Structure 1
Amino acid sequence: MVWFSAMKRAVPSPTKRKPAADVDWTKTPYPNLIRYKPSGNYFGRVRVDGKLIRRSLETHVLSVAKLKLSDFLQDHRRLAINKGQSVKGEVIIEMFRKEIEDDHNNKPRTKLYKQEVLIALKKTWPQLYSTDIAKISQRDCNEWAARYGKDYSPTRYNGALGIVRRIFEIAVEHGYRVDNPARFVDRRRVRPKELHLPSQAQFQEMAKHIETSGAGQAKDCANLFRFLAFSGLRIDEARHVVWNDVDFEKGLLHVRITKNGKDRWIPLNTSLRQLLEQMRAERVKRITHHDLRHLFATRCIEAGVDIPTVSRWLGHQDGGALCMKTYGHLRDEHSQREALKVTF
C-alpha cells in the first residue's frame, strides 16, 4: 500500500487541458469574427455592457460569414446604444418626407419624383415601413434591390437606391441604427442612350409634315418642333419663354426658368432668329374677352346710341357715369363729325 502510494506520487500528472475558450476558438483577421474548430463554423463575438456574447453565423464559408457578421453587430450594437428603443421604418420615412418639404433647394418636380419613389418602395418593399428600422439587414436590402431592378430602369433604380440610403442615414443620425446596410448595395450601370437623329433633310421633312398635318394647332406645333431643335431648350424651359425674353438687337434669348434654377442667355443662331422673326410677323395681336366688351360699347356709341342706353345694355347701375368716363371722347368725336354735316 505504501509502495502503491509512492508509485502514484512518482507518476507525473497529465497536462491540464486549457479551457474551451482558448483551445476551440480561432481568431480571424476580421474584428468580432471567430471560428469554432470542432464544427468549423464562424461565430460573431461582441461585448455589450461588459457581457461577452457569441452567436453562430451558421456557415463555414468566410465570405458568407463576413456578410452575416454585419447583421449580428447591428442587432447587438443597437441595443447597446438605444437601450432597447426601436422605431418602425415608416417613422423614419416620415422624417424623410419632412426633409423633402423643408428643403428649399428641392424643386416641385424633384419633390414629386421622390414622393413617387416612396410609393414604389411601399409596393416593392412593404417591410421597410412595418419593420423595426434596426432589424433590416444588408440581405434585406439586397433582396429588395434585386426585385426593384427587374421592374425599373437603371436610372430609376439608382435614384431609388439613393433615397433608401438617405432613409437609413436619417436612422443613423437619430441613433436608431449604427450603420447603413444600403451602402453596400451596388448601383447599376447606366448605359449611354444610343442616339438616332434625323439628317437635315429628314428634319425639314418632319417639320413640314407636322405643319401640313391638318390639325388645328399644326402650325404652332411645327414652330415648337423647330424652336426646340434650334435653341436646345428643355421642354419645361421652352414653355416659359415670352417675347420679352427675345432681344433681337443683341441677338440673345433669355432663358429665365431652368432645370438648375439659374437663368442663362443663349445666342440667336441664324435658324433660330429667322424662326422667331417669322413668328413675330405672323402673330395676331392679343385681345381679351373684356376688349371685346369695349369694342361693343365703342361701336354702339359710334353708331349714335346714347351713352345712358349703352350703359344699361352693359349692365351698369350708375346711370352712365362709368361709360361717360370711359367713352366720353368718342361722343365728342362723334359730335364733331356730325357738326360737319350742318350747313347754313
Structure 2
Amino acid sequence: MTAANLKVGFVLLSHSRNPQPSTRIAVLNMLPALREAGIEAELVFDPEQSSETPDLGHLAQRLINARFDVIYFQKVRGESAERCARALKKAGIATIYGVCDLVDADMAMATNMTLVVSEFLKSLYPPALQPKIHVVHDGIEKPSVVKADVAAHTGSRSKPIRAVLVTSSSLTSLPVLAQPPNWLEVTIVGKYPPRGATAQKLREARWAFLKMSSANERLAYLRFLVNARIKTQMWQAESVYAALQCADIGIIPVEPSAQLVKGTHVPVWKVKSENRLTLKMSVGLPVIATPIPSYEPIIESGVNAFFADTRRDWIRCLEILRDPAVRRSVGAKARTSVVDRFSQTQQARLLVAALRAVSESRGVFAELQPI
C-alpha cells in the first residue's frame, strides 16, 4: 500500500478550534504535509472538552465501517481507548498511539505503534515494547521568524537585558532564580490573563494565594507579584513569537520535583520534549536551560546554548551573556543547530514513514528513516 491511497483518522486530545499545544503540533500542523504526500487525513474524534481518557463509545465500529487504514490516538488513552484500539486491530485497521510527556505501556501494547517526541521518552518503555516505539519530534512552527538584531548594551538597572521564559502553565514564582539580578528583566509567557484584564488578574492571584499551603510559599508569591523586573504575558500563537523577538536571552529554568512518571522511577520534569528549547533556539536566541535529558543531544554547553543547575550556575551563565558578541555568536549557532533538524518538514517525513510502515507491516517494524 502506498501513501497515496492511505486513509488515516485522528482521535484528538483537544478540539481543533481551540487545541492544546500537543494537538496543534503533533496533528494539526502536520495535516497539510500529509495531504501533500497523498494521504487522506481526517479528524474522526474532535472533542469539545479536552480529555486524555474520553469515552470513545461506538467509535470503533464507525471507523471500521468507514474503512480507515490507520487510526492515530493523539495522547488519548485509558480503558475505552484500549478497547477501541484492540477492536480496530482485530478488524485489520492499524493503530498508532502518539504521546509527548508520559509512559503508557498498556496503550503501547494495545496499538501497533507508539510515537514519542524524544529518544529519552522512548527509552522509558519496557524492553519488549522497544521495537514498537519510534520518535517523531515536535516540529518548529515558525522557522522563518528570526531575531532581527542584538542589543549592543550589557544590561543595567535602567536599561536591563531582557529574558523570556515560555511555559504552558501560570507560574507563581521564577524557578531556580527566584529573583533576577537588577540588570535583568524577565517576561514569562504562559497561561495568564490578557493585558488589561486587571480584575481577572486579581481574582486569579487571590485564588493562587489561597491554595498555597505554607507561609514561605505565599511570601515567595507576593515577592513574585511585586517584582517590577518580572512581567507576565498571556500565551498566544502570534504574540509568543513577538516576545521572543523582543528578548535578548531565552531561559528555561526547571524546579525539580519528586513526582514520578507512572510506572517508572523517573521524575515527571525530566520527560519534557525539546519544544520549548528548539522554539527559542530557532529564533536565534542564546538559551540557558536546566539540564533535561531531551535537551542533552541538542545543547553543546557554552557553544550553542548553556546548561545551568544551581542559582550560582544560572547567574554565571547570565553574566557571560551580558556580552553582546557572545549573545550574537551563541544565538546564531543555536538557530543553525535546530532549524533543519527539528523542522516541521523533517518531522512530517518521519510521520509519513510511520504511517506507511504501520499500514504495511501491522506488527513488524523496522527502524524508521526519513524519506
User: How does the TM-score come out when normalised to structure 2?
Assistant: 0.19
Return the index of the structure with the highest Cα Rg.
Answer: 1
Q: Specify which structure has the higher proportion of helix.
A: 1
Higher relative contact order (CA 8 A, sep 6+): 2
